[in-house]
Amino acid sequence: MHTILSPSDARQPMSTSASQADGDRVAATSPTRILVVDDEPLIADTIVQILNRNGFIAQAVYGGREAIDCARLTNPELILSDVLMPHIDGVEAAIAIQKFLPDTRIVLFSGQAATVEILARARTRGYHFELLAKPLHPTQLIKHLHQDSEAGK
């Protein structure tokens, strides 16, 4: 099961709410929207469930082409993608997405040694992505995403 974001759910500006106690305006931020990409549906759907239970709004897709198409429609703030996938790998999908969503944070994950070479090729083209090793421990994943999103605010 995965959450579906509609185009109208695209990034919303920070909202404010009034404090009833003292009338001060308090800034409230909406949860980070994350697109999870993995050609193994069980992995993608499990990560989505973990993220949604930890305060994120996550959606799963199962391939590079689907990730590109979905990112155009939903404008996620963060993409968490496997690297090695058939047809369009995670790095090529990330490069394509960064061309139309340059401010979207992209975190790649992989358990394969070949990933280093793929990322090196991306760096020579001017693209730099974060890399997490599989298997992803849920606690470490959440900690990593929260730490880096807090630092960017």
Domain that holds residue 139: 31-151
- Establish if 82 belongs to a structural domain: yes
Q: Is pLDDT above 70 for 4?
A: no
The rounded percent of the chain whose pLDDT value lies above 70 is 76
- Establish if 4 belongs to a structural domain: no
For residue 116, what is the domain's CATH number?
3.40.50.2300
Q: Which residues contact 77 (CB under 8 A, 6 or more apart)?
A: 11, 32, 33, 34, 104, 105
pTM over 0.85: no
Can you spell out the DSSP letters for 36-105?
EE-SSHHHHHHHHHHHHHTT-EEEEE-SHHHHHHHHHHH--SEEEEES--SSS-HHHHHHHHHHH-TT-E
Q: Is pLDDT above 90 for 153?
A: no
* Intra-chain end-to-end CA distance of the chain, in Å: 31
- Establish if 64 belongs to a structural domain: yes
- Establish if 49 belongs to a structural domain: yes
- Establish if 25 belongs to a structural domain: no
Give pLDDT tens digits for 84-132: 999 999 999 999 999 999 999 999 988 776 677 788 888 889 988 888 8
Residues 116, 94: Cα–Cα separation, whole Å: 15
Residues 33, 59: Cα–Cα separation, whole Å: 8
Least confident piece of the model among 20-29, 71-80, 135-144: 20-29
Q: Which residues contact 43 (CB under 8 A, 6 or more apart)?
A: 82
The rounded percent of the chain whose pLDDT value lies above 90 is 50
Residues 42, 1: Cα–Cα separation, whole Å: 10
Give pLDDT tens digits for 40-51: 999 999 999 999
Assign 148 a pLDDT band (cuts: 50, 70, 90): low
- Establish if 88 belongs to a structural domain: yes
- Establish if 91 belongs to a structural domain: yes
